[in-house]
Amino acid sequence: MARKKFIAIAGNIGAGKTELTSFLCRKYGLTPSFEPNDQNPYLADFYKDMKTWAFRSQLFFLTHKFRLHRELERTPGTVLQDRTLYEDAEIFAKNLHRQRLIDKRDWSTYWELYQTISQSLRPPDLMIYLRCPVVTLKERIRLRGRAMEKDIPTAYLKRLNALYEEWFGGYSLSPVLVLGTDKLDYLTDLVDRVDLFRQIEKHL
């Protein structure tokens, strides 16, 4: 790794972002940055009543991720981020607006703030997109047993998956590496692991 890089991992809930972030950081000695779900004071309420808490929850994520992104820019060495500010806006907040859980006025305020913030940020040197079907997402969510996630509707996950495909269809900020995590077994399958390393090392 000749210079500091900023690598991001994107994907739906349960796609395997945290596991892959930890694995790659151990392998290459990178600095991890994990999704701050446990720091969002609105998240548990949001999953119970999305309409009431959607805007406040997304505003927290946006401002928190902006501050985190700035910190990562100052961090020495290559960093690997588990979910970026871009996803918060382009996927999660946009989905809530389309479902009328964030009204037009709040959405206009949010989107203007996002556009202003995102234009001031250094984009990733590589975006890794973890593509995963909903049936696999549901099973992983069930197995990890987070109380706030247990009632996430299947339709919600489907809409998020569709938005990920839509977003990456027009994404141009950086190179993109797409990994199908429903079949990829880099933990126990040597062939998958070597192939993963080969693809990652092209960008390090």
Q: Per-residue pLDDT tens for 61-117?
A: 999 999 999 999 888 889 999 999 999 999 999 999 999 999 999 999 999 999 999
Whole-angstrom distance, CA of residue 139 vs CA of residue 33: 25
Mean pLDDT of the chain: 90
Q: Is 35 annotated as a binding residue?
A: yes
CA torsion through residues 3, 176, 167, 36, sign: negative
Whole-angstrom distance, CA of residue 90 vs CA of residue 96: 10
Please indicate whether residue 82 is annotated as part of the active site: yes
C-alpha closest to that of 46 among 62, 35, 57: 57
Q: Is 67 annotated as a binding residue?
A: no
> Nearest 5°: phi and psi at 11?
165, 160
Q: Which segments of 36-147 are extended strands (E)?
A: 79-82, 126-131
Catalytic pick from 82, 182, 185, 195? 82
Residue 1: is its pLDDT beyond 60? no
> Which pTM does this prediction carry?
0.89
Q: Is 144 annotated as a binding residue?
A: yes
Contact status, residue 128 vs residue 177, Cβ threshold 8 Å: yes
Confidence of residue 2 (pLDDT cuts 50, 70, 90): low
CATH architecture observed for domain 6-201: 3-Layer(aba) Sandwich (3.40)
Average the pLDDT over 174-185 and give the result: 89
Decide which of 196 and 88 is more confident: 88
Which pLDDT score, from 0 to 100, does residue 67 have?
92
